[in-house]
């Protein structure tokens, strides 16, 4: 599934993983504000997850396009599943690999991105009912800087990092108690104003393991 914007993508990943038993293989930037999310599982599970994720991304203005490939050809998989890639223009990875606690899971996937130690505990963190993640995505650095400053001043949240998609798209992620994250994101949204364009703002309560494993480096 390919979606415009990182925030709709992360919201869709959370919805997909909560709706069916699927594995998130990787997310890959397409150099035009878009992110392609690749998942695997049984045909029924993938179909359910893709439809759920598509609806979520559509609700957030992500303009998703999606396809389910049955019994993918091994030769095609060499192109579908991408190797690690670094974009010197935006100074960050282009392909995001989820990193989980389990060494078995990590070995089964492609090489993961480097992650801070606190974020390598995605599976266990997702069981904390009070944990929430907040996302603010803008087109323009000034807007996102103003938004994240307002968010941090409004509530006790931790800034986890930011991602750039190119074209001026920037996403900042915060973590904290659900009530605090909600207040912070609302305050941040209100500050974007004329400084830039608000692409999306979203709060994920009890984020799924893959969402935690795909978070940006601080």
Q: Which pLDDT tens digit goes with each residue over 69-112?
A: 999 999 999 889 989 888 787 777 888 888 754 333 433 443 33
CA distance 106 to 67: 26
Same domain for 144 and 101? no
Domain-embedded: residue 124: no
Spans of the chain, pLDDT less than 70? 100-129, 216-218
- pLDDT at position 93, please? 82
CA distance 132 to 151: 14
**Looking up tokens 């605090």, which residue turns up?**
180
Same domain for 37 and 89? yes
Domain-embedded: residue 200: yes
Domain that holds residue 98: 2-114
Domain edge (last residue) among 114, 147, 176? 114
First-to-last alpha carbon distance for the chain, in angstroms, is 26
Domain-embedded: residue 166: yes
The reported pTM is: 0.80
Q: How many folded domains does the chain comprise?
A: 2
Write the CATH number for 162: 3.30.70.1710
CA distance 94 to 36: 11
């Amino acid at each position: 599934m390919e979606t415009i914007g990182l925030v709709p993508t992360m919201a869709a990943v959370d919805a997909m993983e909560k709706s069916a038993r699927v594995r998130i293989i990787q997310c890959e930037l397409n150099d035009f504000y878009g992110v392609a999310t690749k998942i695997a599982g049984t045909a029924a599970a993938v179909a359910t997850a893709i439809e759920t994720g598509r609806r979520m991304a559509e609700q957030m203005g992500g303009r998703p396009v999606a396809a389910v490939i049955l019994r993918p050809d091994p030769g095609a998989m060499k192109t579908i599943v991408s190797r690690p890639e670094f974009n010197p223009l935006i100074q960050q990875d282009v392909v995001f690999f989820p990193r989980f606690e389990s060494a078995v899971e990590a070995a089964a996937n492609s090489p993961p991105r480097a992650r801070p130690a606190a974020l390598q505990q995605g599976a266990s963190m997702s069981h904390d009912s009070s944990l929430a993640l907040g996302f603010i995505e803008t087109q323009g650095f000034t807007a996102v800087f103003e938004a994240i400053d307002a968010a941090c001043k409004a509530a006790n949240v931790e800034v986890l990092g930011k991602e750039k998609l190119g074209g001026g798209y920037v996403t900042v992620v915060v973590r904290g108690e659900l009530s605090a994250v909600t207040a912070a994101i609302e305050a941040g949204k209100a500050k974007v104003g004329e400084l830039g364009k608000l692409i999306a703002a979203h709060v994920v309560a009890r984020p799924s393991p893959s969402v935690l494993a795909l978070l940006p480096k601080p």
